[in-house]
Amino acid sequence: MEASVTLKKLKDRFPGSILETHSYRGDDTAVVKKEDILKICTFLRDDESLLYNFMMDVTAVDYIGKEPRFEVVYHLYSLKFNRRFRVKAGVSESDCSIDSIVSIWISANWFEREAFDMYGIQFKGHPELRRILLYEGFEGHPLRKDYPIKKRQPLIGPIN
């Protein structure tokens, strides 16, 4: 099946970095070690038979109570081969950081800022990692599952 070309190449090239893969209904996913995310992404972009030149989305998931707690998810697309690929990297709460991929795909810039804004994940090497949707002075990261649903921010209003 052509769709699993990416997984095969990735497993051959980075046998120690790929923790888990699955390919559900043609959607290829690889769970990788977060230390190797830059290497893997560069390979996915540059390898002649892969050419994932379109970074479509970076987001995060909070699996509270599990270890690692967070998962950073990358959605890639190859315009040349019309293929999609998903990369996931677990990020623990104690070391809540991962390498930024802005140097590989510049479109990751705002996505990583959003993931930082909502989940508090530090993207090391990001050129300007600050909040993007919320404002300076916001306390906490609202899409974390332990963010209190009724929390009020110390805001401009006298009653809030």
Partner 1 sequence: MGVENQRAGVSPDSQQKLTVSEDSGQLLDGSVILTRLESIVNWSRKYSFFLYPFVTACCGMEFMSVAGPKYDLDRFGAALPRFSPRQADLLMVVGTISHKQAPILVKVYNQMTEPKWVFAFGVCAVSGGFYDNYATVQGIDTLIPVDVYVPGCPPRPEMVIDGLIKLQEKVAKEKFSDWPKGASPVSKC
Site for partner 1 contains 155 (CB under 8 A) = yes
Q: Which of 66, 87, 63 is nearest to 77 (CA)?
A: 87
Span from 38-46, 47-55, 90-98, 141-149 in contact with partner 1 (CB under 8 A): 141-149
Site for partner 1 contains 151 (CB under 8 A) = yes
Q: Please tell me whether residue 39 adopts helix, strand or coil conformation.
A: helix
Span from 8-16, 39-47, 103-111, 142-150 in contact with partner 1 (CB under 8 A): 142-150
Residues of span 95-134 touching partner 1 by CB under 8 A: 133-134
Count Cβ atoms within 10 A of the Cβ of residue 93 and give its class: 0-12 exposed, 13-18 middle, 19 or more buried: middle
CA angle centred on 70, ends 69 and 76, rounded to 5°: 150
Q: Which two tokens stand for residue 136?
A: 């300076």
Could you give the CA distance from residue 42 to residue 157 in angstroms, rounded to a whole number? 47
CB of 154 to partner 1, least distance (A): 10
Residue of the chain from 2, 24, 128, 159 that contacts partner 1 (CB under 8 A): 159
Instruction: List residues near partner 1 by CB under 8 A.
Output: 133-135, 138, 142, 147, 149-153, 155-160
